[in-house]
Amino acid sequence: MYKKIVLSLFFIFGVNSKSVFAQVGVGDSLALVALYDSTDGHNWDDTTGWNHGPVDTWYGVTVSGTINRVTMLNLIDNNLVGIIPSSIGDLDSLTGLFLCDNQLTGSIPLEIGNLTNLRYMSLYTNQLTGPIPTEIGNLTNSTWLHLGNNQLTGTVPAEINNLTKLSLLYLYNNDLEDLPSLSGLSSSLLYLKIENNKFTFEDIEPNIGIPSSFFTYSPQDSVGEIINTTINEGSTLTISVSVGGDSNQYQ
């Protein structure tokens, strides 16, 4: 009788522990560990639960009990130092990715385009470099894309027009140039911030009126190239720069 009671209690507690702690697949677990390793996880401000215990007890990680997948990753201002690994793309059930206010470097991995369930992505206030990958156009469920205050360069990909549910697009404080027409976002975009880049009127004018609530685009960085030259006293020097747009008055 004593053995039967003990076994019964063990069975009950075993079932309860599985219901309390949602287990995730190996792919999700490995992707999280890769992020931890590539961003100096031992020195994060809060490492509660990481690399031991059930994944849904790890700080900043939300697991859906219905699908047993990681659906939210919130590590805002947690002293992440390093790169975003390509394996971030294995977390393809994410609906929210919040890695802002850290010290992330390197480029945004192309595999970010695998996160097709993503609704919110905030990578602002890091030191991310390189271009915005064209694969960003795969994130067709996104409503919020915040990449401001980094060191991103190059052309904003036209594929961003695929994000027809996007209500907020923040690209301010980067080194971006050549902004495409965002006409594909005209029915959804509410907030657009692109100031402190290298956009000209040719980039800005087609997008006036597309965000329905808020649009900041000034100031922008200098246009043209810095050239050191010497001229003789009394000589004439003509300085010119070619820019597009109809209201291109520069001084």
- Neighbour count for residue 138 (Cβ, 10 Å): 18
Structural domain contains residue 195: yes
What pLDDT is recorded for position 29?
A: 96
- Residues 6 or more apart whose CB falls under 8 angstroms from that of 233 comprise none
Q: pLDDT truncated to tens, each residue of the chain (251 aa)?
A: 433 333 333 333 333 333 334 579 899 999 999 999 999 999 999 999 999 889 999 999 999 988 999 999 999 999 999 999 999 999 999 999 999 999 999 999 999 999 999 999 999 999 999 999 999 999 999 999 999 999 999 999 999 999 999 999 999 999 999 999 999 999 999 999 999 999 999 999 999 999 999 999 999 987 667 778 888 888 787 776 666 666 666 55
Structural domain contains residue 206: yes
- In whole angstroms, what is the distance from residue 136 CA to residue 84 CA? 15
What pLDDT is recorded for position 224?
A: 66
Number of domains composing the chain: 1
Structural domain contains residue 89: yes
- The pair of three-digit structure tokens given for residue 134, joined into one six-digit string: 């064209």
- Residues 6 or more apart whose CB falls under 8 angstroms from that of 142 comprise 118, 119, 120, 121, 163, 165, 166
What pLDDT is recorded for position 243?
A: 63
Structural domain contains residue 162: yes
CATH number at residue 202: 3.80.10.10
pLDDT in tens, 115-149: 999 999 999 999 999 999 999 999 999 999 999 99
Structural domain contains residue 8: no
Structural domain contains residue 237: no
What pLDDT is recorded for position 159?
A: 98
- Residues 6 or more apart whose CB falls under 8 angstroms from that of 229 comprise 237
Q: Which domain holds residue 89?
A: 24-216
Structural domain contains residue 231: no
- The pair of three-digit structure tokens given for residue 99, joined into one six-digit string: 């890695």
What pLDDT is recorded for position 18?
A: 35
Structural domain contains residue 224: no
- In whole angstroms, what is the distance from residue 160 CA to residue 169 CA? 10
Full DSSP string of the chain: -HHHHHHHHHHHHHHHHHHHS----HHHHHHHHHHHHHTTGGG-S--TTTTSS-GGGSTTEEEETTTTEEEEEE-TTS--EEE--GGGGG-TT-SEEE--SSEEESPPPGGGGG-TT--EEE--SS--EEPPPGGGGG-TT-SEEE--SSEEEEEPPGGGGG-TT--EEE--SSEEE-PPP-GGGTTT--EEE--SSS--HHHHGGGTTSSSSEEE----PPPS--------TT----------SSS----
